[in-house]
Amino acid sequence: MVKRKKVKKKVMKKAGPKKEPVYVQLSDPAKNRRIILQTAIDAAKLIQDYEILRALKKEKESVLSQFHKVVTETKKLTGKLIGGALPKIKEDAKPKPMKSKEPPKIERIEEPVFTPEPVIESQPAPMSEVERLQQELGDIESKLAKL
């Protein structure tokens, strides 16, 4: 015959009598609510500014990386150009600068005017974090104005 292990049953202890919530009367509750809403507005503005700074930092990093790529490519191409892509010429074959009394004529070329094509948006773009915060800020300010 197989012996069964004894399992202790957990006994729930009864807590003391349930305590009723205690309510406290606030003096001037409208003023306190106004202060809380103003603090919420300040916090939303801080978060909004942070999101803007974060987006600017990300954009700056991407522009800097593109700049570094262009600089390295330019250095590489100038190295190729100087290194042997240009033909060698003799000193006496170099053209001498011309000395003239007339200033060179400058031709002005008018640039064509480009007209942007109208863009048709099929669906509104999803709101970014900054736009969402601006909407929340407007809601809080409207609540504050109602007080």
The total domain count for the chain is 1
Residue 7 lies in a domain: no
pLDDT tens string 28-62: 888 999 999 999 999 999 999 999 999 999 999 99
Question: What average pLDDT does the structure give for the chain?
Answer: 80
The whole-number average pLDDT for the span 3-27 is: 74
Residue 65 lies in a domain: yes
- Composition of the chain by helix, strand, coil, percent to 5: 55, 0, 45
- pTM of the predicted structure, to 2 decimals: 0.45
Residue 67 lies in a domain: yes
Residue 92 lies in a domain: no
46: domain range? 30-82+133-147
Residue 51 lies in a domain: yes
Distance of CA 72 to the CA centre of its chain: 27
Residue 142 lies in a domain: yes
Torsion of CA 78, 82, 86, 92, to 10 degrees: 130
Report residue 21's pLDDT band, with 50, 70 and 90 as the boundaries.
confident
Residue 126 lies in a domain: no
pLDDT tens string 113-139: 667 676 666 665 667 777 888 888 888
Q: How many helices (H) and strands (E) does the chain have?
A: 2, 0
**pLDDT above 90 covers what percent of the chain?**
29
Residue 14 lies in a domain: no
pLDDT exceeds cutoff 70 at 16: no
Q: Give the integer Cα–Cα distance in Å for 54 and 66.
A: 19
pLDDT exceeds cutoff 70 at 27: yes
Q: Give the integer Cα–Cα distance in Å for 42 and 144.
A: 13
